[in-house]
Amino acid sequence: MQRKHWIDNLRWVTVLLVLFYHVFYFYNNKGVFGGIGGFGDYPECKQYQDVVMYILYPWFMPLLFLLAGISSRYALQKQSGKEWFSSRTRKLLVPSTIGLLVFHWMVGYFNTVVAAREGVFDGVPAVGKYLIMAFSGTGPLWFIQVLWLLCIVLLLVRAIDRKDRFWNWCGKANLVVIILLGVLFWVGEQTMVKNPRPESLDGLLNLYKPLFYLVPFLMGYFVFSHDEAQEKIRKAWIPLMACAVIAGTVLVVTTFGQDNTSPQYLGSPLNCLYGWLMCLAMMGWFKAHFDGTNRFATYMTRSSYGIYIVHYLVIASFGYMMKMHTSLAPWMMYVILTIAVFTLSPLIYEVLRRIPFVRWCVLGERKK
């Protein structure tokens, strides 16, 4: 099978959008969990730059799960289920467990001691502090933890559909059916706990949203791995993008100021409509115009995963230090943090991938 460069390109572009999103997320004042907070309370301080979160959050992570589902179908055409799952475990589970102890404890330091609350470790032994910081450093690694769990689910589904009957049936979907799959997108969002109970696992479930992300992952595997489905959205990418922009504009204008990660917000029909249309439009657009490669695209295809793995340390450390220990104007902090995350993250990745054993622990990469 000829490599589909548009999938590679869309994946690494989406990863770069995640980096950009986290710059604004870290300084948001809309009540979104995490980060260090904004430069004044809403609504007195509007912080219109937070609009970036409203534009990106409804669709960029579901899109990554869609692409993962497509790629899983292609990989399983070349590998046995056992071989594929072994490689997925090394690439996903190792960095999100062992990698916490080797690298991401530094992110946990800012998440707990610095960015969260001073004195949280008073009286805690050194080993205890280290373990708390390590497991608090998960950050964006929730994505690969959930993806590993979904890989297990996929193997179970494949065991039921051994003759690919359901996959073949899904390949017959026309454009109307593909658009209407957005109803499943909405159903998935309803699995979140609407009113999470304090001191329970409700908040963790709402953060990880495994049942929601299972929907785009399986749709990627069963529907969008078909060339026919990809061609349908390629031909319709312009009207799909136009509709997505309209829906997104209405969503932002009518909801700006709300916590855009709350269950009520994410489960709203308008948010789901916008998120689904953007997923389709982005896939169609890249299929139509970005199905090629060059030296930079090839590098990003290879490196974007590692850059994603390490980038939040740059966000947490630089973001905190500038806000708490400098008198820089807010706009300068955004500029500096953006430059830092896009330059230092690849640098950190390139250093780590050259260190034996650390490369395996943090990035899930074997020695080449």
4-52 pLDDT, tens digit each: 999 999 999 999 999 999 999 999 999 998 889 999 999 999 999 999 9
Which segments of the chain does DSSP mark as H helices, in order?
5-26, 51-56, 60-76, 81-88, 98-99, 105-109, 126-136, 142-160, 165-170, 175-180, 182-189, 202-208, 210-222, 227-235, 237-255, 263-266, 269-289, 295-325, 330-352, 358-363
Give 165's Cβ-side CA count (13 Å radius): 5
Reported as a single tens digit per residue, the pLDDT across 122-142 is 778 889 889 989 998 999 999
Reported as a single tens digit per residue, the pLDDT across 249-308 is 999 999 999 999 999 999 999 999 999 999 999 999 999 999 999 999 999 999 999 999
Residues 230-238, mean pLDDT to the nearest whole number: 98
Residues 158-165, mean pLDDT to the nearest whole number: 94
Among 103-112, 227-236, 340-349, name the one with the lowest average pLDDT: 103-112
Q: Is the pLDDT of residue 244 over 90?
A: yes
Q: What's the pLDDT at 204?
A: 87
What are 46-49's contacts with CB under 8 Å, separation 24+? 46/257, 49/24, 49/334
DSSP code for 93 = I
Can you tell me the distance from the alpha carbon of 255 to that of 54, in angstroms, rounded to the nearest whole number?
Answer: 9
User: How does the average pLDDT of the chain come out, rounded?
Assistant: 95
Q: What's the pLDDT at 120?
A: 66
- Give the residue extent of every domain in the chain: 5-96+138-363
Q: What's the pLDDT at 112?
A: 82
Residues 190-217, mean pLDDT to the nearest whole number: 92
Reported as a single tens digit per residue, the pLDDT across 307-326 is 999 999 999 999 999 999 99
- In this prediction, residue 115 has a pLDDT band, given cuts at 50, 70 and 90, of very low
